Amino acid sequence: MAYEWLPPTRDYQPLWPGKLVEVRNLPNGLTLEIWDYSRKLAGDRWLIGMLAQIEVKVGAEHFSAPEMFERFLQETGGVIYYRYRKERHFVDEKERNQVFETIKDHFLKAALEYLSHPSFRDRLIQSEIPLFERKVRWEEEIRRKDEEAERLEELWKDRPI
């Protein structure tokens, strides 16, 4: 899997630094952060990277069971993220600021109304929580199948074929 740059947190440090370039308080009460994680690739060539993210806190009422919410808290700290990332490779150093600003401006022009919609938070939760719960159920099923395979292997290991 390819490396995806994420902003630094108390528990995570990215492979290369990024810079928070803009914070917008949206009319729906959410906060949009825009990060520049551009870096030099070789010579005068750059990777231009922009990450837009919105953090959304999630409560127990959005989950099918209290156990799912507890697991969600353990794995995510109780938040989900909307994230949009755009990259351009091998950009000339002289064009790097202009390319980043163009990427940012096009994103804001295309997505700001959508991200500012009053129901954006609820729609994000309605799409992300079922994905999380499906992932948890799938992991549990895989764990059960592995345990059953190990049990059968132990049961049949000394029997002749």
- CA gap 107, 49 in Å, rounded: 13
pLDDT digit string, tens, across residues 106-121 = 999 999 999 999 999 9
pLDDT digit string, tens, across residues 16-65 = 999 999 999 999 999 999 999 999 999 999 999 999 999 999 999 999 99
**What length does the chain have?**
161
How large a percentage of the chain has pLDDT more than 90? Answer: 91
**Three-class HEC string of 94-154:** HHHHHHHHHHHHHHHHHHHHHHHCCCHHHHHHHHHHHHHHHHHHHHHHHHHHHHHHHHHHH
Mean pLDDT of the chain: 95
pTM: 0.86
Both structure tokens of 108: 């804001």
Domain boundaries in the chain?
A: 19-156
How many CA atoms lie less than 13 Å away from 157 in the CB half-sphere?
6
> Cβ(84)–Cβ(107) under 8 Å?
yes
> Cβ(107)–Cβ(50) under 8 Å?
yes
